[in-house]
Structure 1
Amino acid sequence: MSWKTAHRSFYYQGAPEPADPVLKRDETALLCIDVQNYGMVLHEDPAERERWAPFHARMRGTVIPRLQALQQRFRAEGVDVIHARIACQLEDGRDRSLSQKMPGWNNLLMPKDSEESQIIPELAPEPGEIVVTKTTDSALTGTNLRLLLSNMGIRTLIVTGIYTDQCVSSTVRSLADESFQVILLEDCCAAGTDALHQQELAIINMIYCHVMTSEELLALMGLDD
C-alpha cells in the first residue's frame, strides 16, 4: 500500500488517489519539531518506564535514525532544515500558552537555557540553521516562523518530530490553514502510543497534509538513489 491509499479516515475511504505533489527544492524545507532531551528521559518509576517503553523503542529504533539520515540528505542537497522546540523565555513560565500550563503531563516548564529543553544531540541544528522557540503547541502560531518562511519563499513543509497527536498535528493544521503544502513523514514521527500515532495520521491525512514515509518522499524528490 502506497501513501496514496494508506492512512485514510472515514471521510476519504472512496476518494480518488491524490496526484504527486510538486516539490521544488528551493521552495521546500524540513521542519523538525520538539525532539528534545525532556522527551527522551527514561522514567524512574518502573511502571511508567514500562508504559513508555514502546515509545522509546520507536524513537531509538525508527524515528531518530531515519530523521537523522533525512536531515543529512537534505543538507547535502541544499534543502533547508528548520528546527522548533518547546521552551519558555521566563524562568517561571508565565509566557507559556494555556495548553502548556494545564495540570498533568502537558504541563511543561522548561526555561530556554535548561538542558531538558535542548534538541537531542543526534538531531541538533547545524551552524546557520533556523531554530524557533515556541510556548504553544503549533510552531507556526507560537513563533515568527510564518514570516521566516514567507521571506525565504518556502511553500512546502516536510514535517517530522513529536508528538504526532499534539505539537506535530497542531503545526500541520496551522500550516495548512495558511495554505502551505504539508507532507508529514509517518516514520519520522511518534506519539505516546502507536494507536494514538495511527489515529492522528488518519485524522489529518488528505485534508491538512499528505502522510507518507521518508522513502516515498525521497523518491518523489529524486533523491532515492
Structure 2
Amino acid sequence: MTSRTDTALIIGDMQTGILANYPFSRAPVSPMRELVRAARAHGVLVVLVRTELRASGVDVSENNTVLTAFHQAGSLFHEGAGGTDIIPELAPRPGDVVITKRRTSAFVGTELELVLRAHHVESIALTGVATGAMVAATLYDALDRDYRVTVLSDACADAEADVHDFLMARIFPGRGARVMTAESWLGEL
C-alpha cells in the first residue's frame, strides 16, 4: 500500500435523508465509491462530513434563514433521527473520520482542522453536495487555511446544474483550487 499521508479525501453531506429527498444528490455516489476504495488503499485519510442540527433548535439562529428552513422542515437534519446517517455505500470504516457540522462549511465549529493537522494533511480532495453550498463553503475555508484544494467535479452535485458548472469552470479555479474528475485524481494516486 502506498501512503499519501499529506492528503485527505473529504466527502460532504452524503447522508440518507439528503439522498432520499434531493434526487440530484445521487449523481456522485458511483464516483465516490471508487474514490473511497482507492483512497483507503493508498493511505489517504477519508473524512465523511454530515450535517446534523439539534432537535431543540438551540444551534439555529433565526438570522440564518437557510438553516432555520432546514430545521423547521421536519427531522431530516435533526440529530438522532436517522436521516443524518452516512449512506451505506460510503459507510465509515476504522481509520475513517466522521465530522458532524452544524453549518454549511465542514470547518465551522467542528474538529476538522484539528484532525487534518494531526494527520499532517496539506492537500484536500473535496467532494459532496451541494456544490453551491457545502462544497463552496468548505473550499473557501480550506483555501483561507492554506490547504491545497482539488475539487472533484463529477463527485459533486447541485440541484442547479448551471450553478455547478459555473462554480467548477470559473469560480473555483479563479480562487486557486484545482478542478478535475475523480478518474483524473485517481490516476495521480
Q: Shorter-chain TM-score: what band?
A: 0.7 to 0.9
Counterpart Cα distance in 2 of 1:80 and 1:173 = 20
Asked if residue 83 in structure 1 is aligned to residue 86 in structure 2, the reply is: no
Q: Which ranges in structure 2 are unaligned for 5 or more consecutive residues?
A: none
Contact 2:60 2:68 in 1 (8 A): no
Please report the TM-score for the alignment, with normalisation by the length of structure 2: 0.87
The residue number in structure 2 matching 1:129 is 96
The residue number in structure 1 matching 2:29 is 64
**Per-residue deviation at 1:101?**
3.0
Deviations 1:62-96 (A, max 9, x none): x11111011001111221111110002x3212213
Contact 2:105 2:138 in 1 (8 A): yes
Contact 2:38 2:186 in 1 (8 A): no
Counterpart Cα distance in 2 of 1:187 and 1:106 = 31
The residue number in structure 1 matching 2:182 is 214
Counterpart Cα distance in 2 of 1:159 and 1:28 = 11
Deviations 1:8-60 (A, max 9, x none): xxxxxxxxxxxxxxxx8110010000011122125xxxxxxxxx66x26xx24
The residue number in structure 2 matching 1:40 is 19
Report how many residues are paired. Answer: 183
Q: 1:108 to 1:194 in 2, by over 3 A?
A: farther
Counterpart Cα distance in 1 of 2:124 and 2:51 = 19
Paired letter, 2:67: K
Residue 73 of structure 1, aligned match among 18, 30, 38:
38
When structure 1 is superposed on structure 2, of 205-214 and 128-137 the one drifting more is 205-214
The residue number in structure 2 matching 1:191 is 158
Deviations 1:186-220 (A, max 9, x none): 01000002112112222122424111001111222
1:119 alignment partner, SS class: coil
Deviations 1:157-213 (A, max 9, x none): 100010001011100000000000000000100000211211222212242411100
Q: 1:214 to 1:197 in 2, by over 3 A?
A: same
Counterpart Cα distance in 1 of 2:34 and 2:154 = 12
Contact 1:28 1:156 in 2 (8 A): yes
Instruction: Point out 4+ residue stretches in structure 1 off by more than 6 angstroms.
Output: 104-108
The residue number in structure 1 matching 2:143 is 176
Asked if residue 203 in structure 1 is aligned to residue 171 in structure 2, the reply is: yes
Counterpart Cα distance in 1 of 2:165 and 2:48 = 24
Q: Which ranges in structure 1 are unaligned for 5 or more consecutive residues?
A: 1-23, 43-51
Contact 1:99 1:136 in 2 (8 A): no
**Per-residue deviation at 1:119?**
1.0
Paired letter, 2:147: F
Asked if residue 101 in structure 1 is aligned to residue 80 in structure 2, the reply is: no
Q: 1:76 to 1:156 in 2, by over 3 A?
A: same
**Per-residue deviation at 1:103?**
3.7
2:5 alignment partner, SS class: helix
Q: 1:41 to 1:159 in 2, by over 3 A?
A: same
Paired letter, 1:118: D
Please report the TM-score for the alignment, with normalisation by the length of structure 1: 0.74
Counterpart Cα distance in 1 of 2:154 and 2:72 = 23
